[in-house]
């Protein structure tokens, strides 16, 4: 079975086609700058060819149509055809309180996602664009949604409540939702290659450190706390997001600078974080190089970022009554040894003892803790696409089996 995996952003689409159930990626690529005349289209057939084009792409439907057309024209090199795509799996950031597991899409599902668009205005509308485009371009192909916040629907009530008047919070569905759930599922599953038992036998802190960053407390298989909240802004200092801050400070800035709501939103989500603090870049590699060259603002940025990372590890260990495993992933978590070193420094009293040599030489994935460290420190490469493909394959296979069984019963009767 061939599964098309789509992740539609505000001006981008990431796509992948994998054969299942063994998850062999056959095609992958991306489209950037949708809506512009110089949009970028990348298309790669695994181990064969890689192409790149710059051309106008008006919207998500045009982008998906371009990809499918390119796929059709490449069939002789692929070994499968466009008609062989059995299902489409979509990443959807926000499923609200109703959806905590992946679902096959029908009108009731899309209507619900439409109804909660305001909870994720930068994400869900674009996910819907991708869903509607596939319904139009691949009308007979079943589609599945895998929700990014679904993983965190196990949070206890005391962990997701905010200190707002309860009537207002319930009226507008304001609570901690948490994000990067698909990545955390992948991280936990991959960690088992380095653990003696199933991941649900451990108290784990997951650190997903990319341009978007989230920390997660995974207590014997259940997410019980997460740093991102009502939106992906809360929590850790991220590449362009401020993270935790006094809400009154933002109100103060709005008054002093005469900022509109839209301008204030852009300030804390797009102009802050590593970028705003350093004044250099939202790329941690460039900030690190500047800090090594003596740039004090860059050094301040690294110190502030790692302080926040470390604080969440300690907080989650306290919540879980201890810690057994610490997992790093994401572009920074996987590649920035200097960040991992700084985060783990002085945590030996908690049982976190990093092996400096392993930490500097690990490539891709591996254990970076000392042999006798009470807490095992692991680096993995999260694969959200694989999780989406697996969920899609499982749901579509189950649906097919049920339909076949129902048909057989009907024939016998």
Catalytic sites, residue numbers: 148
Q: Is residue 16 within a helix (H) or strand (E), and if so which, with residue range? A: strand 12-19
Question: Which residue is listed with tokens 């990348």?
Answer: 42
Percent helix, strand, coil in the chain, to 5, is: 45, 20, 35
Are the CB atoms for 109 and 80 separated by under 8 Å? no
Q: Is residue 3 within a helix (H) or strand (E), and if so which, with residue range? A: strand 2-8
Rounded to 5 degrees, what are φ and ψ at 11? Answer: -135, 30
How far apart are alpha carbons 3 and 87 in whole angstroms? 5
How far apart are alpha carbons 137 and 374 in whole angstroms? 53
Q: Is residue 399 within a helix (H) or strand (E), and if so which, with residue range? A: helix 384-412
Rg (CA), the chain: 22
156-194 as b/e: b if 16+ CB within 10 A: eeebbeeeeeeeebeeeeebbbbbbbbbbbbbbbbbbeb
């Amino acid at each position: 079975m061939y599964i098309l995996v789509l992740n539609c952003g505000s001006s981008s689409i990431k796509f992948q086609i994998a054969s299942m159930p063994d998850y062999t990626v056959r095609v992958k690529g991306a489209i950037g700058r949708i809506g512009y005349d110089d949009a970028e289209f990348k298309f790669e057939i695994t181990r064969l060819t890689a192409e790149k084009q710059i051309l106008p792409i008006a919207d998500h439907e045009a982008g998906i149509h371009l990809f499918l057309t390119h796929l059709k024209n490449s069939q002789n090199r692929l070994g499968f055809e466009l008609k062989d795509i059995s299902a489409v799996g979509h990443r959807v950031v926000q499923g609200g309180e109703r959806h905590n597991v992946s679902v096959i899409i029908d009108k009731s599902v899309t209507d619900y996602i439409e109804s909660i668009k305001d909870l994720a205005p930068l994400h869900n509308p674009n996910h819907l664009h991708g869903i509607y485009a596939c319904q139009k371009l691949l009308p007979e192909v079943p589609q599945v949604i895998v929700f990014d916040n679904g993983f965190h629907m196990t949070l206890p009530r005391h962990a997701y409540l905010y200190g707002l008047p309860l009537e207002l919070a319930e009226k507008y569905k304001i609570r901690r939702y948490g994000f990067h759930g698909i990545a955390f599922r992948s991280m936990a599953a991959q960690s088992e290659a380095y653990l003696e038992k199933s991941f649900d036998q451990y108290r784990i802190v997951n650190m997903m450190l990319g341009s978007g960053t989230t920390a997660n407390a995974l207590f014997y298989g259940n997410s019980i706390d997460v740093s991102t909240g009502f939106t992906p802004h809360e929590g850790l200092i991220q590449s362009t997001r401020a993270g935790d801050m006094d809400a009154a400070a933002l109100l103060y800035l709005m008054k002093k600078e005469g900022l509109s709501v839209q301008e204030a939103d852009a300030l804390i989500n797009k102009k802050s974080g590593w970028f705003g603090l350093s004044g250099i870049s939202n790329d941690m590699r460039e900030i690190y190089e500047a800090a090594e060259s003596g740039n004090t603002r860059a050094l301040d940025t690294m110190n502030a970022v790692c302080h926040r990372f470390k604080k969440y590890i300690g907080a989650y260990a306290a919540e879980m009554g201890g810690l057994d495993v610490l997992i790093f992933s994401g572009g920074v978590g996987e590649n920035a040894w200097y960040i991992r070193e700084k985060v783990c420094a002085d945590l030996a009293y908690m049982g976190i003892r990093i092996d400096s040599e392993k930490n500097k030489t690990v490539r891709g994935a591996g254990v970076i803790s000392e042999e006798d460290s009470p807490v095992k420190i692991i680096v993995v490469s999260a694969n959200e696409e694989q999780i989406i493909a697996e969920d899609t394959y499982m749901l579509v296979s189950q649906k097919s089996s049920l339909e076949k069984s129902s048909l057989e019963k009907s024939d016998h009767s």
